[in-house]
Amino acid sequence: MKRLFIVALVALAVWFGWKKWPEFVNRRPGDDLVLINDSGEALERLRVTVDGQTLVCERLERDKTAVIPFKVNHTSDLQLEFQWTTREGIMTWRGGMVPAGPMLQKQILRIDPEGQVTYTTENKLGS
């Protein structure tokens, strides 16, 4: 009975290690996407596409900020789509550049009352 318990414990440890191995080897820090709503009203369905992945913020209240961590494997631009809560249509913006290199940054997208997007970056310190 004791042997069976030890074999089961070892099998469980091997299975757990096999399933979690990618998380252990990919523990590198990443960039941050900072969405700032200066539009004067709430925004909905914010979608940012970068390096083939989509980062989502379902609702961003006025004068609020959302921070979404992400990682990239290839240098990529950003594409933002969002909707107003009180206006019709989908707003889109494309630009910026997220480097895949060792430099970590905050990618800051500030949305103004006209729906214009101001893009800036800051280096991440202490990461």
- Residue 29 scores a pLDDT above 60: yes
> Could you tell me the two tokens for 90?
């989908």
Residue 8 belongs to a domain: no
Residue 108 belongs to a domain: yes
**Model confidence band, residue 26 (pLDDT cutoffs 50, 70, 90):** low
Residue 52 belongs to a domain: yes
Spatial separation of the C-alpha atoms in residues 96 and 110, rounded to whole Å: 13
- We report the CATH number of the domain holding residue 79 as 2.60.40.2890
Residue 118 belongs to a domain: yes
- Please count the structural domains in the chain: 1
- Residue 85 scores a pLDDT above 90: no
Residue 4 belongs to a domain: no
Q: Give me the residue label for tokens 């729906």.
A: 115
- Residue 20: the pLDDT is 80
- Residue 53 scores a pLDDT above 80: yes
Segment 73-82, tens digit of pLDDT: 899 999 999 9
Residue 96 belongs to a domain: yes
* CB atoms closer than 10 angstroms to residue 82: 23
Range of the domain at 94: 29-123
- Helix, strand, coil share (%) of the chain residues, nearest 5: 20, 50, 35
Indicate the SS3 state at residue 101. Answer: coil
